[in-house]
């Protein structure tokens, strides 16, 4: 619980604006937000995305379908506007991948905030062994000190994905990396106030709760100083 800042009474009027691109996983995200005392509002159209609250861009599914939904809903331009205005945005899994330019999953165009490409895991790892894709595993999460804009203890997060954000073009923007079959991938990327997490905090129990709580407190502080 966030010391009442996002408590059930919602006295501060703060909430998390959860973007729905018809890609699934929305219910589990909102359930986890409620569990840690965060109120949320579903966003399906540009006029619902105010930019006055932290934005969460979740998703499970196909990159191209989600990219097309950005256009058909009119949310692409609005998301770009709130990002340019330094509103805190958290992308989860597919939501994080949508922050890149393109994906090998299809021809859809991402938001382009992260100067990189989303790639498919190869058939074989660097040791020649067959990789079982999708990558589904609990893995250690130990962000180097100072790489995230909020404090977070080491733990473990749950991953499930067949595609990954290529860390090579990101440089310091790839703030935390993980490995599958010897293939390095970005587990957390950051550009300005936008953060992309390849793992699923809503499925990562207490470690995911700590991540979302720390992000929400930081995001609230950022919005209060804009």
Contact 129, 181 (CB under 8 A): yes
Whether this prediction's pTM lies above 0.95 is answered by no
53 is catalytic: no
Q: Which phi and psi angles does 47 have, rounded to 5°?
A: -70, -20
Residue 76 lies in a domain: no
DSSP secondary structure letters along 64-97 = HHHHHHHHHTTHHHHHHHHHHTT--EEEETHHHH
In a domain, 184, yes or no: yes
Catalytic residue at 142?
no
For residue 220, being part of any structural domain is answered with yes
Specify the pLDDT at position 14.
67
The span from the CA of 143 to the CA of 172, in Å, is: 13
Count CB atoms within 10 A of the CB of residue 82.
21
- Reading the block at residue 91, the tokens are 């992308």
Strand 106-109 relative to strand 100-103: parallel, antiparallel, unpaired? Answer: antiparallel
Q: How many domains does the chain have?
A: 1
In a domain, 61, yes or no: no
3-state secondary structure of 211: helix
pLDDT in tens, 124-158: 998 899 999 999 999 999 888 888 999 888 899 99
pLDDT of residue 166: 98
Residue 224 has φ and ψ, to the nearest 5°, of -75, -15
Q: Does residue 178 fall inside a structural domain? A: yes
Output the domain CATH number for residue 174. Answer: 3.40.50.880
Residues 93 and 199: beta-carbon distance below 8 Å: yes
Q: Is residue 85 part of a domain?
A: no
Domain that holds residue 193: 120-226
State the catalytic residue, choosing from 53, 83, 135, 200. Answer: 200
Q: What is the number of other CB atoms lying within 10 angstroms of the CB of residue 168?
A: 11
pLDDT, mean of residues 40-45? 96
| 93 is annotated as an active-site residue | yes
Choosing from 105, 109, 177, 202, which is the catalytic residue? Answer: 202
Within-domain flag for 125: yes
Peptide bond into 134 cis (omega under 30): yes
Residue 152 lies in a domain: yes
Q: Which of 93, 105, 161, 177 is catalytic?
A: 93
Rounded distance, CA 63 to CA 23, Å? 9
What are the pLDDT digits (tens) for 152-203?
888 999 999 999 999 999 999 999 999 999 999 999 999 999 999 999 999 9
User: Is the predicted pLDDT of residue 7 greater than 50, yes or no?
Assistant: no
């Amino acid at each position: 619980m966030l010391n009442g800042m996002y408590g059930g009474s919602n006295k501060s009027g703060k909430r998390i604006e959860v973007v729905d691109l018809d890609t699934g996983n929305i219910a589990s995200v909102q359930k986890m937000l409620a569990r840690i005392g965060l109120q949320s509002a579903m966003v399906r159209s540009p006029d619902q995305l105010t930019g006055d609250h932290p934005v969460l861009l979740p998703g499970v599914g196909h990159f191209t379908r989600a990219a097309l939904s950005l256009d058909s809903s009119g949310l692409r331009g609005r998301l770009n506007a709130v990002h340019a205005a330094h509103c805190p945005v958290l992308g989860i899994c597919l939501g994080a991948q949508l922050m890149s330019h393109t994906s090998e999953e299809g021809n859809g165009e991402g938001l382009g905030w992260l100067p990189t490409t989303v790639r498919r895991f190869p058939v074989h790892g660097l040791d020649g062994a067959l990789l079982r894709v999708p990558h589904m595993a609990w893995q250690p999460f130990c962000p180097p000190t100072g790489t995230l804009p909020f404090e977070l203890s080491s733990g473990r997060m749950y991953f499930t994905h067949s595609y990954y954000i290529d860390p090579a073009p990101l440089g310091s923007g790839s703030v935390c990396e993980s490995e599958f079959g010897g293939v390095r991938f970005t587990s957390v990327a950051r550009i300005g106030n936008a953060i992309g997490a390849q793992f699923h905090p809503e499925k990562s129990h207490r470690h995911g709760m700590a991540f979302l709580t720390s992000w929400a407190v930081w995001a609230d502080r950022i919005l209060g100083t804009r």
